[in-house]
Amino acid sequence: MAGVDVALRCRDCGRAADLRDWRCTRCGGLLRLEWPGLTPDQRIDPAARGVWRYRPVLPAVGASAIVTLGEGATPIAWIDRWAAAHRLGQVGVKLEYLNPTGSFKDRGTTMLVSHARSLGLGRLIEDSSGNAGASVAAYAARAGVEATIFVPAAAPAAKRAQIERVGATIVPIDGTREAVTEAALAEVARSGAYYAGHNANPFFVAGMATFAYELIEELGATPRHLVIPTGGGSLCVGCFDGYRRWFDEKAGCQRCPRIHAVQSSGCAPLVAAIEHGLDRVPAIRRNRTVAGGIEVERPPRDREILQAIRRTGGSAVAVDDDEILAQRRLLARTEGIDVEPTTAAAFAGLARLAKDGVIAPDDMVVVAATGAGWKDPG
Ligand SMILES: [Zn+2]
């Protein structure tokens, strides 16, 4: 039950990497995990609950290195009234905001910080619009390691306060989301601290795959569609990886629900890439949006996100701020589910996909409710 001995290799040039690296030292490419094969009885630890229930299919860390706050095992709420209002039948909401720090990021963070602790790394650096920063900060506190979180100066006050309460150093940066990443990387280069950047770090993505494992275990039937608010895309990539890992490449592609990535029309590079048949995101014009968590102009894993969308027969859709805010209200008032605007974008996207006939009335849909309403009261 100790987990899987993985290796790291550059996605672009194939060079083998050290487990302490987060990108290729030769070409700067992102790293992918290399996994050995599994036998069918090796998937779960029945004595454990949540993310670490899937420890046999997660990268190996020593038992004493695991840093957990009880993440994962999130329930699915079926929202019949909301669904009926949109001429849909079965819409399940996976309540990811019930994770310990109020967002889905904890799945990736528990894996990443446990990996860092197993290597004895003493300081983590992260850049985030808020949720991943709050998550890394909390798990770093739990692990007893130092964390420095670079955030956009415009990040919601509730998220910044959450980061500071658990004792992390917060560094607000003026400018775009990309400028925040550049500042974090400059500090990584200067200090030699471990880069915990959730959109790039392969261990973070490996933890995200547990979202798929829970869907597979919990639902008898495979949902036909999965709707995900998407900026950096760690959940899209992690989920697609998860299905292919749980089954095999071919069966995983067949069984994975159609992945629909929802973006804000203020920042929709993936939508542009799908529309124009591109493998990477193009340069786009952007405007401010209420959905700050998905305001990512150049997602580092763009190729993998686009692959996950295309190979599952999914789509990318952009929604406007007024649709996002209207759906946030509607969801709260009809179902009691209070999410942040970034998450509400997924419901606006689902409404659009239903209206356009991409999702049929009798199709089973699961939506990832990624972040809690209290994080960004607006
Ligand atoms: Zn390389």
- Determine contact, residues 243/216, Cβ cutoff 8 Å: yes
193 CA to middle of ligand 1, Å? 21
**Residues 254-269: what's their mean pLDDT?**
97
Strands of 31-34's sheet in order across? 16-17, 7-10, 31-34
Question: What is the whole-number distance in angstroms between the Cα of residue 7 and the centre of ligand 1?
Answer: 14
Query: How many angstroms is it from 80 CA to the middle of ligand 1?
Result: 48
Mean pLDDT, to the nearest integer, of 4-32? Answer: 94
Mean pLDDT of 288-293: 90
Cα 51 to ligand 1 centre (Å): 30
Distance 350 CA to ligand 1 centre (A): 38
pLDDT of residue 321: 97
In the reported structure, the alpha carbon of residue 26 is separated from the centroid of ligand 1 by a whole-number distance in angstroms of 5
Q: Are 112 and 196 in contact (CB under 8 A)?
A: yes
| Spacing, Cα 218 to ligand 1 middle (Å) | 38
The pLDDT value recorded for residue 377 is 81
Banded model confidence at residue 368, pLDDT cuts 50, 70, 90: very high
How close is the Cα of 14 to the center of ligand 1, in Å?
Answer: 6
Give the pLDDT score at 213: 96
The Cα–Cα gap between 249 and 104 comes to: 25
Q: pLDDT at residue 1 above 70?
A: no
CA of 285 from ligand 1 middle (Å) equals: 30
Please say whether the dihedral angle defined by the alpha carbons of residues 287, 264, 327 and 157, taken in this order, is positive or negative.
Answer: negative
Contacts of 28 (CB under 8 A, 6+ apart): none
pLDDT score, position 40: 63
Is residue 77 within 8 A of residue 25, CB to CB? The reply is no
Cα distance between residue 344 and residue 330, in whole Å: 10
Residue 97 has pLDDT above 90, yes or no: yes
Tell me the CA–centroid distance for residue 117 and ligand 1, in Å: 25
Query: Amino acid letter at 327?
Result: Q
Alpha carbon distances (Å) from 148 to 12, 179, 193, 202: 29, 16, 10, 19
State pLDDT tens for residues 322-343: 999 999 999 999 999 999 999 9
- Has residue 41 got a pLDDT over 80? no
374 Cα–ligand 1 center, Å? 41
pLDDT at residue number 378: 74
pLDDT digits over 104-131, tens only?
999 999 999 999 999 999 999 999 878 9
| Ligand 1 midpoint to CA 16 (Å) | 8
Of 28-37, 133-142, 209-218, which gets the smallest average pLDDT? 28-37
Among the CATH numbers 3.40.50.1100, 3.90.180.10, 3.40.50.920, 3.40.50.300, which is that of 76-102+204-375?
3.40.50.1100
Cα(125) to ligand 1 centroid in Å equals 22
| Centroid of ligand 1 to alpha carbon of 137 (angstroms) | 29
* The pLDDT value given to residue 39: 66
Distance 187 CA to ligand 1 centre (A): 22
Question: How far is it, in rounded angstroms, from Cα 229 to Cα 121?
Answer: 32
Distance 122 CA to ligand 1 centre (A): 26
pLDDT over 80 at 156, yes or no: yes
- What DSSP string describes 77-137? EE-HHHHHHTT-S-EEEE-GGGSTTSBTHHHHHHHHHHHHHHTT--EEEEE-SSHHHHHHH
Q: Where are the alpha helices (DSSP H) in 294-359?
A: 302-311, 321-335, 341-355
227 CA from centroid of ligand 1 (Å): 32
Q: Ligand 1 mean position to 32 CA, how many Å?
A: 11
Q: Does the pLDDT at position 353 exceed 80?
A: yes
Q: Which two tokens stand for residue 150?
A: 């670079």
Phi, psi at residue 11, to the nearest 5°?
-65, -30
Distance 201 CA to ligand 1 centre (A): 15
Give the chain's length. Answer: 378
Give me the residue label for tokens 């955030």. 151
Report strand pairing: 258-264 vs 146-152.
unpaired
CA of 67 to the centre of ligand 1 (A): 30
User: Cα(364) to centroid of ligand 1, in Å?
Assistant: 40
CA 31 to ligand 1 centroid distance, Å? 8
How close is the Cα of 30 to the center of ligand 1, in Å?
Answer: 7
Please tell me the distance between residue 27's alpha carbon and the centre of ligand 1 in angstroms: 4
Residue whose token pair is 């079926």: 78
What is the CA(19)–ligand 1 centre distance, in A?
Answer: 14
CA distance readout (Å), 318 to 12, 196, 268, 312: 29, 29, 6, 19
> Which contacts qualify for 7-12: CB closer than 8 Å, 24 or more apart?
7/33, 7/34, 8/32, 8/33, 8/34, 8/202, 9/34
CA 301 to ligand 1 center in whole angstroms:
15
Whether pLDDT at 42 is above 90: no
**pLDDT tens digits for 167-214?**
999 999 998 888 999 999 999 999 999 999 988 999 999 999 999 999
* DSSP three-state, residue 167: coil
Q: How many whole angstroms from 203 Cα to the centroid of ligand 1?
A: 18
276 contact partners, CB below 8 Å, separation of at least 6: 282
| Distance from Cα 356 to the centre of ligand 1, integer Å | 42
Q: Which two tokens stand for residue 139?
A: 């798990």
Please give the angle made by the CA atoms of 137, 35 and 95, to the nearest 5 degrees.
Answer: 45
* pLDDT of res. 182: 94
Percent of the chain with pLDDT over 70: 99
Cβ burial 233-242 (10 Å sphere, 16+ → b, else e): bbbbbbbbbb
Distances (CA, A) of 263 to 93, 132, 229, 372: 18, 18, 6, 18
